Every structure is written in C-alpha cells, then in structure tokens.
Amino acid sequence: MSSLTDVLLVEDDEHVRLATLQSLKLAGLGTQGVDSAEAARRWLTPAFAGVVVCDVQLPGDSGLALLQTLREQDPELPVILVTGHGDIGMAVEAMRDGAWDFIEKPFSAEHLVEVVRRALAQRRLVLENRRLKAQLGEGPADGLLGASAAMEQVRTLIGTLGPARVDVLIHGETGAGKEVVARALHAAGGGRGAFVAINCGALPESVFESEIFGAEAGAYTGAAKRRIGKLEFAGEGTVFLDEIESMPMALQVKMLRVLQERSVERLGANTAVPLACRIVAATKVDLLALAAQGRFREDLFYRLDVASIELLPLRQRREDIPRLLSHFCAQAAERLQRPVPAWTAAQMSAWQARDWPGNVRELRNFAERWVLGLVPDSPPVASSATQPLAELPTLPLDEALAAVERQWIVQALTECGGNIARAGERLGLARKTLHDRIRRLGLDADAYRSS
C-alpha cells in the first residue's frame, strides 16, 4: 500500500465508488477504491497508515466481517461504515464492536470528508504515539530525553565535560532533571567508581560532616568504628551534591579546602586521604546572588564552577513535551499494565502552553494520571477507538504544534515591536534560535517593527 493513501474505499457499486473517490480526491485525500472485502484485505497490510471507508453490504464477506478482521489486525485502525437506512441499528452495534463511525446513505460529500478528516487526525496521533513509544521505550542511553536545541547543547557539553572529569555545576529548577545530567556525566567519564548522590538539604548538620568526610573510631560519641565518608567511598567515581546552596556555612569552608587540596581528612584523623572522585554540584538558585547576601561562600562557588551546565525548565523547551510525555506514558503503561490513551492535537497544544513549575517531575506524575484516566478531560483508559464521535482537530500533530509556535512568535514580535532580542527573552529563546525559527516559519520580523 502506498504511503500516500489516506483512505481505502470499499464499495461494490461502481457508480457510487467512482463518485465517492472523486469527492475524496478533490478534498486532497489520497484514495484507493476496491469492490470487495477480499480485495481490501490484500491492500490492508500492517503498515497501512490511513483509514477505511467500507459499505456494510458487500458481495462475499460483508463490511462487518472485514471490520472483525481489521480489529484483530489493528484494533486502533479507524473503520467508517457506510449504511443504508435499514442498517442503522446494525451499524450502532458495530460501533460497539470497534467501528470508528458510520455514515448513512445518501450522504453529502462535505459530511464524508469531515468524518474522514477526523478519523485521519486520530489515526496520525495513534501512529505518532506508537512511533515515539517504539523510539523511547528503552530510553536513550544517557537518560536525557528531548530534541530541542537546549537539550542538544546539554548533550554536547556532557560529551565534552564527561571524559575530562572536571568538577561541574548544574543550574536548574526543581524537577528539571539535574541528577539525570549528573549521572550522564558520570557515564560519559567512563563510569569508573561509584555514583554517590547526596541531597545537602536533607542531611542534618549534626551528621553532615561524618557522612561526607568520614570519621575515625572515637571521633565523636557513638563512633565505635571507622566510618568511610561519601567522598572517599566514591573512589574514582562521581559525588553529586544536590541543593548545594543548603550546605551549612561551617561545612562550606571544609568543602572548599577539600576541593583545593583534592584530599579529605576523616573526623579524628591526622592524615589526609587523596580525593579521586569528581564533584558535580547542583543548585536551583543563583549562587552569586546568594553569596552577595552572605548566605553562600563566593570562593566555594568559583571552585565548584569550573564548568557549568544550564538545564532549562520545560516552559523554555516546550517542543520536548510530546516526546517526554510519550516516554513517561509508555513507562507508566508498562508498570501499571494499562494501555496508553491517545491524546488529541488540541490537548497537546494546551499541555505545551502550561508552565509546568514542577518541570519533568511534574510531567512524569501527569503521565501516570493520564494512563490511569485521572485527568479530567482524558478518554477512558480502554482505547480511544471506543470514542468514534469525539471532536478531533483536522490538523496532524506536527502542523498543530507549528501553528501554536507561529502564534506565540507572532505575538512576541508584535508586543516587542519586531525586536528579535527582546522577543527571544520573552519566549525564553536565544536570539539565534528565535531567528532560525522565524526563518523556518517564513515570518518577516521587520513587518512587526514599530514605526
């Protein structure tokens, strides 16, 4: 079957078939016609990416028999039944068995095209979900999801900094995936030694020093034996200090010395142990601003900030949301033993317009609620194919997202008088990135300049 075929029409009446084919082709739909269910089966391979319009009454096998065959082959393939007046009751029953919709004879060309376009939009969404699930089912080797320019830059930095094994400071909001980046850095460095994650905001100050630096037996009350600290335990691996801004000031001095000397002394010890690990610190705040307030040591900041990685929030890389959501839905579906409900282009556009203050972590939780059917406007978990009359957009997902992107960019350019730099700041995009998108969308920034 040609990939250009949007519709397979199954109609035994030659005059009706030719007239219907003409109506669909005039609407810009690639269409192929056959006169029997047996002929249709030869065309409908598993790779078929279109929809089926089928008369119920056919010579040989009926349209209902063909529906049953197609449901076994692909339960989500939209099949639109064409019925006579006396067949309506049977058609309604067939919809309960999985038909996508039915059209009663005689029908107008406009109505047929409208129903077919809605079915095609649903089909494209289902196939896109499948493609993303197949692509992301295992997840990328580094755990980093997203194909935005911002994420590509993060991957480039990881590829450069990982093998160098220099200390790195990661900036990013809560839930943006800072630990995922730290683990990717560890893997890019060869994965030597252990990866040790420490949340500086979760450790009580009373045990922080012994946890990080270690302690000799008798160094403090209750220290019955030597304790190896996290820095020493990591060996040639990576120590991830999350929420570094929460580290007590008194311990920041000791951490600074450790980083300067690349050695650590256990509490109660007189000799230093060489430090072989790499330090990756992460923060959700501006550490220099915090230092100006006397709440973080400026010298420790510069010691940690040998190299830095900026991890943008989801609201500044909205194009990554469909891929992330598909991945998280696939994971949730496998874990919960539920199918993934298909979403519409309108729903995805609305989700991309959200700010997601919890970032990737919030999106992951949302995916679980979606799979469980707990999102208010989500379809039943069973299958989107059970809701044939749901209102669907006529645009494929990529076109719908491009339309939303164009709308945001035009609005920003209008409000900023055509100033690309200011519009980029408003959209959270670098000037070059915005310029490239304006060129791709065929827009003229000069047209929005203030007189």
Hey, what are 268's tokens?
């109660």
Residue at token pair 């943008």: 312
Residue at token pair 């994420």: 151
Q: What is the pLDDT of residues 368-384, one digit of tens each?
A: 999 898 887 544 433 33
Q: What is the CATH number of the domain that holds 373?
A: 1.10.8.60
Q: How many CB atoms lie within 10 A of CB 416?
A: 20
Residue 63 sits in the same domain as residue 20:
yes
Q: What is the pLDDT of residues 212-221, one digit of tens each?
A: 998 888 777 7
Hey, what are 80's tokens?
């639109």
Cβ-contact 80, 67 below 8 angstroms = no
End position of a domain, from candidates 364, 386, 408: 386
Asked if the structure places residue 182 within a domain, the reply is yes
User: Percentage of the chain surpassing pLDDT 90?
Assistant: 38
How far is 68 from 64, CA to CA, in rounded Å? 6
DSSP string over 33-88: EESSHHHHHHH--TT--SEEEEESS-SSS-HHHHHHHHHHH-TTS-EEEEE-GGGH
Residue 271 sits in the same domain as residue 417:
no
What is the number of structural domains in the chain?
Answer: 4
Q: Quote the pLDDT of residue 400.
A: 63
Asked if the structure places residue 1 within a domain, the reply is no
Residue 159 sits in the same domain as residue 304:
yes
Q: Quote the pLDDT of residue 101.
A: 86
Residue 292 sits in the same domain as residue 404:
no
Q: Quote the pLDDT of residue 140.
A: 52
Q: Which residues of the chain have pLDDT under 50?
A: 1-3, 136-139, 141, 378-395, 451
Residue 128 sits in the same domain as residue 162:
no
Residue 329 sits in the same domain as residue 260:
no
Please choose, from the candidates 40, 41, 115, 47, the residue with its C-alpha nearest in 3D space to the C-alpha of residue 83: 115
Q: What is the CATH number of the domain that holds 403?
A: 1.10.10
Q: Quote the pLDDT of residue 383.
A: 34
Residue 29 sits in the same domain as residue 122:
yes
Cβ-contact 58, 36 below 8 angstroms = yes
Cβ-contact 125, 345 below 8 angstroms = yes
Asked if the structure places residue 180 within a domain, the reply is yes
Please choose, from the candidates 39, 100, 43, 91, the residue with its C-alpha nearest in 3D space to the C-alpha of residue 71: 100
Q: What is the CATH number of the domain that holds 60?
A: 3.40.50.2300
DSSP H or E stretch at residue 238: strand 238-242
Cβ-contact 251, 206 below 8 angstroms = no
What average pLDDT does the chain have?
83
Residue 15 sits in the same domain as residue 131:
yes
Please choose, from the candidates 388, 406, 409, the residue with its C-alpha nearest in 3D space to the C-alpha of residue 398: 406
Residue 300 sits in the same domain as residue 367:
no
Asked if the structure places residue 142 within a domain, the reply is no
End position of a domain, from candidates 344, 364, 386: 386
Cβ-contact 35, 17 below 8 angstroms = yes
Residue 159 sits in the same domain as residue 28:
no
Asked if the structure places residue 228 within a domain, the reply is yes
Contacts of 127 (CB under 8 A, 6+ apart): 49
Asked if the structure places residue 391 within a domain, the reply is no
Q: Which domain holds residue 348?
A: 317-386
Cβ-contact 132, 320 below 8 angstroms = no
DSSP H or E stretch at residue 212: helix 205-213
